[in-house]
Chain A
Amino acid sequence: MTSTILKLENISKYYGNKKALTNIEWEAEEGKFITVLGPSGCGKSTMLSIIAGLERPDTGKIIFEGIDITHTPAYSRAINTVFQDYALFTHLNVYENIAFSLKIKKLSASQIKKRVSALLETVSLSGYEKRDVRTLSGGEQQRVAIARALANEPKLLLLDEPLSALDLKLRKEMQRELKALQKATKITFVYVTHDQNEALSLSDDIIVINKGSILQKAPPDEIYAKPVNSFAAQFIGDGNILNSVVMDNGRAKVFGTAIINCETSGFKKDETAYALIRPENVYFGSAKENSLTAKVISSIFKGEYYEITADLNGERIKGRSEKAFEAGQSAKFEFKDEIYHLMRS
């Protein structure tokens, strides 16, 4: 039995005349890993600040554990944040950084000591107590920031692009650790990122946000398969978004002639729409008679396959092939037999 831990109701935020967030509504179930995904400047960090209590919304309410906390100051909320730049206290060492909130709670010295060493063990930094935080590597600073945010045993942990400053290898490693940590602690995570892969691999739910509005909230597989519009489709994964015309009984036409199977419920016959076809469903080098022919723009070796980008009547199509093509060469391609997703915008 899961319950709602956090609920945002009709949150809007303006900076002068500029709208940062418009009518944001969503809720988080307890113990879930929720990712807020959007391009930079879309308002996702502002939303996090509002949940943390560091900024006030202009309209709307924040309900946390059933209580309206819209006007509760940040220091009274059982919510903690891992900041993008870690925001470690450089005048304090590792131990003092992590113990910061415990000292405020007036725990005894021995309790604090116990808790800090347990936290350091959680983030695999045992023995780092006396270290100066400025001498730590990016990954280590990140771990200290996480330990510090967890010290208070928050019900909700906010993470603002926590891995964006790390190199790729370390980022992958930290992703795994974060996911494991979330599972072990059962704390609800709200994780802000602009990295789609991070969102897909970590989350129970993804909230796609653009220009201060929520486009879609769904589990990763659903967002990947059925994005609500072409923006969400392009943002999550690689995809061909093709102009199409809806035909009857579950079919649509792309490139004027090719017929694909589609989920057409809700669409009228002869309506124009966008069809989402992932590159893994486009096969170049087809030998079928009715396959389409496009002019190859690029052919990139990806290990298991070649990634082919081609042009057909001014529309781009990206797909895969077992063999390389030359740029400028004509190539036949076909779509895998799938039921494709249609979008209105």
Chain B
Amino acid sequence: MRRIFGRIYTYMLLIFLYAPVIIMAVYSFNESRTSKIWGGFSLKWYISLFSNKQILTALTHTLIIAAVAMIISTIIGTLAAVGISGLGKYSKKTIMAINYLGIINPDIIIGVSLMLLFTFMDLNFGFLTMFISHITFCIPFVVISVMPVIKKLNTNTINAAYDLGAKPLYTLRKVIIPQIRPGIITGALLAFTLSLDDFVVSFFTTGSGVTNLSIYVYTSARRGISPEINALSVLMLTVVFTLLVAVNLRMLKTERKTK
């Protein structure tokens, strides 16, 4: 009895979680323009998506920004985590508290404050400001993804590397990073996803000519969202889902190896 209820509960939960996505996916194949009427199965939104220059440019911008933000924030965040882990107890706690501030701080505050900073510094709003702001809000997430694996890292392996003649940089490359790789990958994926779906910070820090997907959707929403967006979302979801499965399989494999 309890098992049946448990099952029902789980399925209900999954349905509530995924219903919006499923509806979106279904309507992306809808012949009709409005989402109230089912006009039959069609791939036309997918086809027109690839001829919509505005969407494609926005997509390119989003992907470029996400890639840059991912790479740079992963490097900075990982190095920061390695450095923080070597600090004394109190400095470590202080810096981690500051790091958490970046995570719990509402996006709107990050966005506005970055905008103020860029204005104060007299920077031209555009790609540069977008890069800086995305990197900024991604770093704390990379730090918290990498910290736990560093904690599990046997510090004697670092000592052993020094002892065997490895200089600090070589040790970082050949001993520390390979051992904390799972955390780095998690952090990088997290950074990529966060950058991908950010709207608020982007809205405040972008400049003319740099429109990413979220801003495009927001501005076009006034004219009614085109089903092309549904199609695009389904495509992106597929990519993210595949990535996620790949990462999980990889982790499972390494776990088995350890056992």
Contact = CB atoms under 8 A, between A and B. Distances in A.
A308 to B, nearest CB: 45
Interface residues of A, number: 29
Given A83-B156, A87-B157, A89-B157, A104 B163 contact: no
A177 to B, nearest CB: 21
B75 interface: no
Interface in B169-210: 170, 174-175, 178-179
A52 interface: yes
B89 to A, nearest CB: 12
B166 A104 contact: yes
Interface in A80-112: 80-81, 83-85, 87-91, 100-101, 104-105
Contact of B163 (A52, A85, A90, A105): A52
B53 interface: no
B46 to A, nearest CB: 43
Nearest to A92: B178
Given A75-B165, A87-B154, A101-B165, A81 B179 contact: no
A227 interface: no
B166 A54 contact: no
A75 B162 contact: yes
A278 to B, nearest CB: 38
A148 interface: yes
B159 A91 contact: no
A148 B162 contact: no
Contact of B164 (A80, A85, A91): A80
B154 to A, nearest CB: 6
Contacts of B174: 100
A83 B164 contact: no
A134 interface: yes
Nearest to A105: B165
B162 A74 contact: yes
B164 A54 contact: no
Interface string A62-92: 0000000000011110011101110111110
Contact of B170 (A54, A89, A104): A104
A43 interface: no
B160 interface: yes
Interface in B119-177: 154, 156-157, 159-167, 170, 174-175
Most buried by A among B161, B179, B258: B161
Interface residues on B, range: 10 to 19
A132 interface: yes
A88 B156 CA distance: 9
A81 B179 CA distance: 21
A74 B156 CA distance: 13
Contacts of A91: 178-179
Given A75-B167, A91-B178, A83 B162 contact: no
B160 A87 contact: yes
A319 interface: no
A152 interface: yes
A101 B164 contact: yes
B11 to A, nearest CB: 39
A53 interface: yes
Nearest to B156: A87
A73 B166 CA distance: 10
Contacts of B160: 81, 83, 87-89, 148
A172 to B, nearest CB: 25
A31 to B, nearest CB: 21
A134 B256 CA distance: 12
Contacts of B170: 104
16 contacts: A49-B159, A52-B159, A54-B159, A74-B159, A79-B163, A81-B160, A83-B159, A85-B154, A87-B160, A88-B157, A89-B157, A89-B160, A100-B174, A101-B164, A104-B165, A148-B164
Given A91-B178, A104-B170, A148-B160, 16 more contacts: A52-B163, A75-B162, A75-B164, A75-B165, A75-B166, A75-B167, A81-B159, A83-B156, A83-B159, A87-B156, A89-B157, A89-B175, A100-B174, A101-B165, A104-B166, A132-B257
Interface of A: 49, 52-54, 73-76, 79-81, 83-85, 87-91, 100-101, 104-105, 132, 134, 148-149, 151-152
What 9 pairs between A and B have smallest CB-CB spacing?
Answer: A87-B156, A101-B164, A87-B160, A74-B162, A91-B178, A104-B165, A81-B163, A87-B157, A75-B165
